[in-house]
């Protein structure tokens, strides 16, 4: 038992509520929300080290033992993601301080960001699948508000689409839960895993797992991403970056958990389908990214490429590929946040979204230009930056597993990423400057600070691989061998 | 627009107290019998909404000068606060306790910390429901 495990969820909720009372004191809201994120970063870092040394932690709410009670389970995979998500949120908050505007801040913007974080962290940590649904809803309700807040016509239209899609997906999630509970009679994820394994994952259970696949694919943007480019390009930059970094990742986390812990026994069917979906996602994402003409479209299609690539790791499903998936997931959170903040900054500086209409930004803003280039290199996977290790691991996994099609498509996607982002770099940053010195919009310190913070994370994730690898190995070990998770969660001698 | 709503107002004056009593009864009946913070809160909120229907918004806001958004916020704080309180006693999060106490006037009474949690839930429900109804009513909001 460790009550600290609840902190990443309960602290943001309580702070969010306290901020409601400080509605008019914007300065106070900023300070408190940033301190909260700092505290969560520290706590999750501490928990991560603790878990690596002493094994998986669990917290049974009000002492109800599993499988009867609701519980939080902290394993290395969940806590790594909590840590990275909190860092990314802190960076996006810093960016928001100087850009989001008073109107948003007075409409409880920081409260909703904190509630979003609470939902995200809860989804990562929970060990109960119904609780996962609840945490998803906490996250989604906050995201509905954030996507629609301050909307013009286009934003309202896209947010309506976003809300509708997610309501339908949540309904399907409930239906899938009902099927699952009807079939195995439990909601505890470890217990489900045991019962599914006992039943040998018969066709009924596999079908149920496919319903979950559809639900989480809608949330993660795996194949069913038709809603994503629109909804991610309309909100303010800091919100879009937060969404790109966190929301699809929660869906992917749920997919990885579902098909490594609960339904790992029929990889011929489930993992093959995931592989096919990932390949189609990658191809579509590549087409969108290379064909896009405005920066926001290109950035959102890069999110889709990221989703496809990580899901390749899950489809291959051996230890190396899963390690790669975990590593790439962390990298993708940081790098996508960096990319979206950069793109948002370009729009802020020039007032343009079309690539061709921008030029020579690097002359006016050299540091910003090179930070964008750094993000580009990381996303493409150039060593020693963060994307490289994940890509190599997934590649090794694919070769070991003999999945050459996945390998080829996966690495083709890197070229598409390179092409699409380099095109922005060459067209918008190089060339004749269009902004004369007098018209230069100054970059505020906070905006640059958040970019530098994320860039530092990208570099650390790459160069500091030695420090991170043990955690990733611990995370992948649980994914490969669900019995570690089950032993940690289920009381000994039960059943 | 002036409508003659003498009957409605007269009935509401009596009925509101019945509803409030029922709401409180349901609230205290919870955690052992059907009822509890959520249901009690809904009934309490319905009394408030009924008052808004029978009288106009200004009159009610004069008698009940609360910002119902803040009522909901206080409720959430109370509920999460009791949940977090268990951390101080080094028992699992959300743990609750109860006991029997001899109180003057009431005699032996069953007191539980769950009631405080439920009070938070009830306040949240009242705050949210009234806020929703008012913002539907307000035409365009703030």
**Nearest CB to A62 within list B69, B73, B92:** B92
Distance between CA B46 and CA B115 in Å, rounded? 21
Number of H helices, E strands in chain B: 5, 2
Q: In which residue ranges of chain B is pLDDT below 50?
A: 140-142
Give yes or no for B86 touching A (CB within 8 A). Answer: yes
Q: Domain range spanning residue B118?
A: 6-137
Secondary-structure percent of chain A, ordered helix, strand, coil, rounded to 5: 80, 5, 20
Q: How far is CA B93 from CA A254, A255, A404, B96, in A?
A: 24, 28, 48, 9
Report which of A295, A303, A206 is spatially closest to residue A252, judged by C-alpha positions.
A303
3-state secondary structure A155-195: HHHHHHHHHHHHHHHHHHHHHHHHHHHHHHCCCEHHHHHHH
Q: Does A131 reside within a domain?
A: no
Nearest residue to A80 (alpha-carbon basis) of A484, A486, A490, A461: A461
Query: A17, A138, A150: which to substitute to probe chain B, counting the most B Cβ within 10 Å?
Result: A17
CB proximity B103 to A under 8 Å: no
SS3 sequence, A62-111? HHCCCCCCCEEEECHHHHHHHHHHHHHHHHHHHHHHHHCCHHHHHCCHHH
- Write out the H or E segment, with its range, that includes residue A400: helix A386-401
H/E stretch holding A59: strand A57-60
Query: What is the token pair recorded at A348?
Result: 């802020």
B142 belongs to a structural domain: no
Residue B62: φ, ψ to 5°: -70, -40
Q: What angle do CA A209, A214, A215 make, to 5 degrees?
A: 95
Which ipTM value was assigned to this complex? 0.86
Cα(A369)–Cα(A43) distance, integer angstroms: 34
Residues of chain B contacting residue A20, judged by C-beta atoms under 8 Å apart = 69-70, 73
Q: Say yes or no: B135 contacts chain A, CB-CB below 8 A.
A: no
Domain carrying residue A400: 267-463
- Domain contains A143: no
Question: Is B43 within the bounds of a domain?
Answer: yes
Q: Would residue A304 count as lying in a domain?
A: yes
Asked if the structure places residue A458 within a domain, the reply is yes
Q: Is residue A367 assigned to a domain?
A: yes
> What pTM value is reported for the model?
0.93
pLDDT in tens, chain A (495 residues): 588 999 999 999 999 999 999 988 899 999 999 999 999 999 999 999 999 998 899 899 888 888 888 999 999 999 999 999 999 999 999 999 988 888 888 889 999 999 999 999 999 999 999 999 999 999 999 999 999 888 778 888 989 999 999 999 999 999 999 999 999 999 999 999 999 999 888 899 999 999 999 999 999 999 889 889 888 888 999 999 999 999 999 999 999 999 999 999 888 899 999 999 999 999 999 999 998 888 999 999 999 999 999 999 999 989 999 999 999 999 999 999 999 999 999 988 888 888 888 888 888 888 999 999 999 999 999 888 888 999 999 999 999 988 899 999 999 999 999 999 999 999 888 888 777 777 778 888 888 999 999 999 999 999 998 999 999 999 999 999 999 999 999 876 444
Is some CB atom of chain A closer than 8 A to the CB atom of B132?
no
Name the domain count of chain B: 1
CB contact under 8 A, A61 and B69: no
Indicate the number of domains in chain A. 1
* Residue A81 in domain: no
Burial B10-47 (b: 16+ CB within 10 A, else e): eebeeebeebeebbeebbeebbeeebbbebbbebbbbb
């Amino acid at each position: 038992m460790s009550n600290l495990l609840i902190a990443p969820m309960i602290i943001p909720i309580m702070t969010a509520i306290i901020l409601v009372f400080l509605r008019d004191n914007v300065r106070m809201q900023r300070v408190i929300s940033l301190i909260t994120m700092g505290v969560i970063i520290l706590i999750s870092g501490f928990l991560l080290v603790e878990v690596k040394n002493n094994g998986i932690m669990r917290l049974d709410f009000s002492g109800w033992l599993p499988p009867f009670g609701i519980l939080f389970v902290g394993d290395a995979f969940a806590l790594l993601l909590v840590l990275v998500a909190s860092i990314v949120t802190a960076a996006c908050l810093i960016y928001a301080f100087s850009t989001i505007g008073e109107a948003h801040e007075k409409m409880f913007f920081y409260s909703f960001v904190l509630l979003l974080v609470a939902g995200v962290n809860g989804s990562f940590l929970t060990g109960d699948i119904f609780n996962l649904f609840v945490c998803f809803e906490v996250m989604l309700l906050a995201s509905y508000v954030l996507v629609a807040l301050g909307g013009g016509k286009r934003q309202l239209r896209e947010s309506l689409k976003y809300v509708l899609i997610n309501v339908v997906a949540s309904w399907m999630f409930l239906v899938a839960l009902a099927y699952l509970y009807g079939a195995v009679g439990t909601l505890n994820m470890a217990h489900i895993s045991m019962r599914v394994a006992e039943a040998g994952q018969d066709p009924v259970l596999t079908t149920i797992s496919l319903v979950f696949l559809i639900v989480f694919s809608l949330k993660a943007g795996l194949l069913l991403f038709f809603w994503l480019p629109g909804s991610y390009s309309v909100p303010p930059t800091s919100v879009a970056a937060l969404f790109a970094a966190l929301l699809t990742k929660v869906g992917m986390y749920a997919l990885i958990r579902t098909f490594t812990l609960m339904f790992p026994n029929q990889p011929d069917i489930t993992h093959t389908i995931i592989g096919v979906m990932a390949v189609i996602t990658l191809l579509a994402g590549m087409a969108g990214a290379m064909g896009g003409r405005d920066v926001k479209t290109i950035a959102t299609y890069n999110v889709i490429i990221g989703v496809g690539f990580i899901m390749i790791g899950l489809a291959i499903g051996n230890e190396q590929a899963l390690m790669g998936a975990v590593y790439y997931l962390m990298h993708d959170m940081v790098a996508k946040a960096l990319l979206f903040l950069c793109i948002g900054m370009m729009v802020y500086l020039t007032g343009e979204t079309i690539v061709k209409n921008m030029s020579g930004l690097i002359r006016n803003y050299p540091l910003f230009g090179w930070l964008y280039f750094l993000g580009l290199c990381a996303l493409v996977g150039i060593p020693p930056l963060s994307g490289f290790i994940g890509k190599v691991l997934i590649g090794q996994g694919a070769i070991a597993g003999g999945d050459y099609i996945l390998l080829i498509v996966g690495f083709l996607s890197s070229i598409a990423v390179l092409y699409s982002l380099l095109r922005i770099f060459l067209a918008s940053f190089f060339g004749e400057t269009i902004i004369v010195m007098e018209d230069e919009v100054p970059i505020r310190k906070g905006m640059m600070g958040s970019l530098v913070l994320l860039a530092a994370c990208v570099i650390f994730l790459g160069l500091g691989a030695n420090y991170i690898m043990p955690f990733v190995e611990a995370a992948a070990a649980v994914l490969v061998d669900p019995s570690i998770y089950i032993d940690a969660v289920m009381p000994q001698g039960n059943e | 627009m002036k409508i003659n709503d003498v009957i409605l107002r007269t009935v509401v004056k009596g009925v509101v107290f019945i509803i409030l009593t029922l709401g409180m009864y349901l609230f205290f009946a919870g955690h052992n019998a059907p009822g509890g913070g959520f249901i009690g809160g809904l009934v309490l909120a319905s009394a408030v909404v009924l008052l808004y229907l029978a009288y106009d918004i200004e009159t009610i806001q004069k008698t009940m000068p609360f910002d119902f958004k803040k009522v909901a916020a206080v409720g959430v704080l109370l509920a999460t606060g009791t949940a977090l309180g268990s951390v101080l006693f080094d028992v699992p999060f959300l743990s609750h306790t109860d006991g029997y106490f001899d109180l003057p006037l009431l005699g032996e009474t069953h007191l539980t910390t769950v009631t405080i949690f439920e009070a938070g839930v009830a306040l949240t429900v009242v705050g949210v429901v009234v806020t929703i109804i008012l913002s539907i009513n307000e035409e365009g909001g703030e």
